[in-house]
């Protein structure tokens, strides 16, 4: 039998509770259903990065050929490289 989940006064109290308790004591995860949030956008942070002009020009040409904004292409290239690095590390 699963334990009854307490009522929390606020989010901080709930955070503190979950730091010291296992959710398996309160929920039967075998009943859980996978959900998808199609309109949820990952949070992003604006950064500033210095690139050699020649590199930026090459990226812009490549982006133009692929018909994508150059900043989007930079994110795609970084993401691909991160995935490669993760696979090598594993």
According to DSSP, residue 64 is labeled H
Q: What percent of the chain has pLDDT over 70?
A: 100
Tens of pLDDT along 28-48?
999 899 998 888 888 889 999
* Residue found by looking up tokens 């904004």 in the block: 69
Return the closest-CA partner of residue 77 out of 46, 66, 50, 90. Answer: 66
Among candidates 51, 48, 2, 9, which has minimal Cα distance to 29? 2
0.75 exceeded by the pTM? no
């Amino acid at each position: 039998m699963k334990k009854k989940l307490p009522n929390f006064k606020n989010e901080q109290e709930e955070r503190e509770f979950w730091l010291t308790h296992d959710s398996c004591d309160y929920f039967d995860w075998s009943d859980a259903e996978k959900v998808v949030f199609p309109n949820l956008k990952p949070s992003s942070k604006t950064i500033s990065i210095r690139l050699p002009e020649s590199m930026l020009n090459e990226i812009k040409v490549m982006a133009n050929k692929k018909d994508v904004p150059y900043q989007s292409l930079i994110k795609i290239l970084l993401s691909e490289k991160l995935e490669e690095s993760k696979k090598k590390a594993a």
